Structure 1
Amino acid sequence: MIVNGWRIYFINRLFGKQRRDLQAEVRQLKKKLSFEEYQSHATVKLYAAIMVAIKEKIPLDPFASYFALFGLLKKYSRVKKMGLPDRYRLFFRTLQTPEHKAIFILWLGYPRKQGDKNDCYKAFTKMVQRGEFPESLNALLLNSDQD
């Protein structure tokens, strides 16, 4: 998918799987719920908010300061609020070369209380420290799906 000149990719084993699982759940809900129940279901709203963030909000200005992370995570960004329920964070990385403008959607985190061992920022930091996200554009492309 290309939006505002940015090609959007999903990291296969993390966000790609999360997205496919959510999409399948939303499809099942559509089959079994009434239209009103479907429209108001939390999972349906979550999936819609994620897709709006990916297709509309991030590609407007992926380097915007409100997406920025700091310290060890300064190469990465995240979406918080912007339609997502308060407990969710959508992590991504943006790379731009003269030939390629790419946004890699990495992982949907579920924060708990700040300081909790399950806090999504701590979990994401550990993923980065373990090298779960390649550094180079080519390596990221090899680990990604494009929609």
Structure 2
Amino acid sequence: MEYVELNGWKIFFHSCFLKQIAELTEKVVALKASKPNEYKGKKETKLLKAIERVIEERIATDPFNPQYRQGDTLGDEYKHWFRAKFLSQFRLFYRCSDEYKTIIIGWVNDFDTLRAYGSKTDAYKVFSGMLKAGEPPEDWDTLLTQAKKATSTTSIPGFLDNQI
């Protein structure tokens, strides 16, 4: 896919996010095949559906909503990153540009990186470390270039296609 368009916003996905989603979607597809009557109640399926809803119904509706603004958790140098909270301990991190009507989904935590204040595997701590390592990059143009490439070269059947 080149990008997803929702409510006039072009949405691109960075490879950091796509890696998480590909792994999660594979698990859900396997659950659907092995337990067709039970898979919808499994935590992996619920997480995948929640991520889709957050993107489609919340972020793409109003990406600049003040509820998505960062506090001090990532530090002042990363306040241009937004985050959507969902399912208590999950965070989806993204950047957006009103000028280009573009949203770039950067990363979402998983069951191994739940939000837990003070934990070494806390979602904010992990994402902060990723940012400091340059993955995803800080520079908007570099981030957009990488996200465009990742989005256009990656296909994840079962994600954002209403087939799960």
TM range (shorter): 0.7 to 0.9
Aligned to 2:103: 103
The alignment's TM-score, normalised by the length of structure 2, stands at 0.77
Aligned to 1:117: 120
Aligned to 2:29: 27
Runs of 4+ aligned structure 1 residues displaced above 6 Å come to: none
Give me the CA root mean square deviation.
1.7
Aligned to 1:54: 55
Asked if the contact 2:68–2:82 (Cα under 8 Å) also holds between the matched residues in 1, the reply is yes
Asked if the contact 2:114–2:121 (Cα under 8 Å) also holds between the matched residues in 1, the reply is yes
Query: Whole-Å Cα distance in 2 between the matches of residues 95 and 102 of structure 1?
Result: 5
1:10 corresponds to which of 10, 13, 22: 13
Tell me how far 1:125 sits from its aligned partner.
Answer: 1.6
Structure 1: stretches of 5+ with no match in the other structure: none
Query: Whole-Å Cα distance in 2 between the matches of residues 28 and 34 of structure 1?
Result: 9
Query: Whole-Å Cα distance in 2 between the matches of residues 19 and 117 of structure 1?
Result: 22
Structure 2: stretches of 5+ with no match in the other structure: 156-164
Query: Whole-Å Cα distance in 2 between the matches of residues 126 and 32 of structure 1?
Result: 36
Secondary structure (helix, strand or coil) at the match of 1:25 reads helix
Secondary structure (helix, strand or coil) at the match of 1:60 reads coil
Report how many residues are paired.
140
Query: Whole-Å Cα distance in 2 between the matches of residues 38 and 133 of structure 1?
Result: 32
1:138 corresponds to which of 132, 138, 141: 141
Output the amino acid matched with 2:102. Answer: A
Percent identical among aligned pairs is 35
The alignment's TM-score, normalised by the length of structure 1, stands at 0.86
Which protein is richer in strand relative to its size? 1
